[in-house]
Amino acid sequence: MTNSLKYQVPILLGLPKGRMEKGIIRLLEEVGISVVGSERGYRPSISFPNTTAKTMKPQNIIEMLSHGRRDIGFAGADWVEELNADVVEVLDTGLDEVRLVAAVPREMAAKGLPDRKIVVTSEYERLAKKWILEQSLDAEFVRSYGATEVFPPEDADLVIDNVATGSTLKANGLVAIDTIMRSSTRLLASRAAMENDAKRDRIEAFRLVLESALNARRRVMLEINASSENLDELVALLPSMREATVAPLFAGAGFAIRAAVLRQNLPELLPVLKDAGGTDIVVSSIAQIVP
């Protein structure tokens, strides 16, 4: 455990309960931060220095941050927008990406909305009413408390809900007709914490650690051997973060090139490197990257 002055100020962290929980716990584990708690407990222990955690619904985390009762926490951008919360976004983790959509029964999607007052249901009351106003619809709003997709067609004409793959909508005979916003899990902070120099330093340190793992997920370490004749061409082909690392091989046998490249580029990149004379190509995973 570190004795750095940076970690002497305590931090109150909100961990999300529900669909975001596993992704956040896994991310923390990747950077060496363990979270240990019982299945029914709401106050897990966390190994990040001088940090106290509590597990809460994302909506409650946002509210506690708004009131300055928590310093940092994880929640979706959709609920930040819904609650019109006065919080500071520290990091977009990109985890649990969803779309907030307006959806109707498949038959209605083909024919269009009926020429009468319609019923719109959603957990997102503020965003739903805003969308209804923007669309100039004659609609009555009914708040749902989960399982919004079961309302149509008997109890609602249109739902506004978040979707990841759209499979739940499809299973319930619904079709998305508009995307209202896109959301993902964000690391958020209270304004009070960000205005406190010591706490802000701690929050930035936490962001740096998490971002190092997120950067590493997107990249792999590529190592390749090259002769002196094809060295320049191979280096030019590698889309590294800055410049590739080049080192001479033993007994003048050529050069070794190392570069952190985007994982998504590998299918196109590997055959090109091989054709350009690269040999002994090795691709390995990266745990963390701190630029």
- pLDDT tens for each residue of 131-179: 999 999 999 999 999 889 999 999 999 999 999 999 999 999 999 999 9
From CA 10, how far away is CA 46, in angstroms rounded?
13
The verdict on residue 233 lying in a domain is yes
- pLDDT tens for each residue of 181-199: 999 999 999 999 999 999 9
Question: 102 and 170: one domain?
Answer: yes
Cβ proximity of 230 and 276 under 8 Å: yes
**Domain interval for residue 171:** 98-183
Question: 189 and 89: one domain?
Answer: yes
Question: 102 and 169: one domain?
Answer: yes
From CA 5, how far away is CA 12, in angstroms rounded?
17
Question: 132 and 102: one domain?
Answer: yes
Q: What is the CATH number of the domain that holds 172?
A: 3.40.190.10
Question: 232 and 132: one domain?
Answer: no
The verdict on residue 211 lying in a domain is no
- pLDDT tens for each residue of 38-83: 667 799 999 998 999 999 999 999 999 999 999 999 999 999 999 9
Question: 90 and 107: one domain?
Answer: no
Question: 83 and 13: one domain?
Answer: yes
Q: Is 182 helix (H, G, I), strand (E, B) or coil?
A: strand
Beta strands per DSSP E along 93-200: 98-105, 118-122, 139-143, 158-163, 174-183, 185-190
Provide the pLDDT confidence category of residue 4 given band limits of 50, 70 and 90: low
From CA 219, how far away is CA 241, in angstroms rounded?
10
Work out how many domains the chain is built from and give that number.
Answer: 3
State phi, psi for 157 to the nearest 5 degrees: -95, -30
The verdict on residue 167 lying in a domain is yes
Question: 151 and 76: one domain?
Answer: no
Q: What's the whole-number mean pLDDT along residues 196-215? A: 94
